[in-house]
Amino acid sequence: MQLLFLPRRGFGLFLMLAAAIMVSAAHQSSSSSSSSHWLPATATWYGSPEGDGSDGGACGYGSLVDVKPLRARVGAVSPVLFNNGEGCGACYKVKCLDKSICSRRAVTIIVTDECPGGYCSGGRTHFDLSGAAFGRMAIAGEHALLRNRGELSVLYRRTPCKYPGKQVAFHVNEGSTNYWLSLLVEFEDGDGDVGAMHIRQASSSEWVAMRHVWGASWCIEGGGPLRGPFSVKITTLSTARSLTARDVIPSNWSPKATYTSRLNF
Give me the pLDDT at residue 35, please: 72
Give me the pLDDT at residue 22, please: 37
Q: Is pLDDT of 21 > 60? A: no
Give me the pLDDT at residue 8, please: 41
Q: Is pLDDT of 7 > 70? A: no
Q: Is pLDDT of 172 > 60? A: yes
Contact partners, residue 185, CB within 8 Å, separation at least 6: 89, 168, 169, 170, 171, 194, 197, 216, 234
Contact 87, 191 (CB under 8 A): no
Q: Which amino acid is at 180?
A: W
Alpha-carbon 114 to chain mean position: 12
Contact 96, 146 (CB under 8 A): yes
Residue count (the chain): 265
Q: If you average pLDDT over residues 16-23, what whole number do you get?
A: 37
Burial of 86 (C-beta count, 10 Å sphere; 0-12/13-18/19+): middle
Q: Whose CA is closest to 133, among 108, 158, 98?
A: 108
Burial of 85 (C-beta count, 10 Å sphere; 0-12/13-18/19+): buried
Q: What is the 3-class SS of 133-145, one letter each residue?
A: HHHCCECCCCHHH
53 pLDDT tier (thresholds 50, 70, 90): low
**pTM for this predicted structure:** 0.84
Share above pLDDT 90 across residues of the chain, in percent, rounded to a whole number = 69
Using one digit for the tens of pLDDT, what is the confidence trace for 113-169? 999 889 999 999 999 998 889 999 999 999 899 999 889 999 999 999 999 999 999
Give me the pLDDT at residue 30, please: 37
Q: If you average pLDDT over residues 17-40, what whole number do you get?
A: 54
* DSSP 8-class letter at 158: E
Contact 126, 41 (CB under 8 A): yes
| DSSP state string for 206-247 | --EEPEEEETTEEEEE-SS---SSEEEEEE-TTT--EEEEEE
224 pLDDT tier (thresholds 50, 70, 90): confident
193 pLDDT tier (thresholds 50, 70, 90): very high
203 pLDDT tier (thresholds 50, 70, 90): confident
Kindly report which listed range (2-11, 214-223, 224-233, 255-264) carries the lowest average pLDDT score.
2-11
Q: Is pLDDT of 251 > 90? A: yes
Q: Which residue has the higher pLDDT, 57 or 191?
A: 191
Q: Which residue has the higher pLDDT, 15 or 155?
A: 155
Give me the pLDDT at residue 67, please: 77
What is the distance between the alpha carbons of residues 2 and 22, in angstroms, rounded to a whole number?
26
42 pLDDT tier (thresholds 50, 70, 90): very high
Give me the pLDDT at residue 25, please: 36
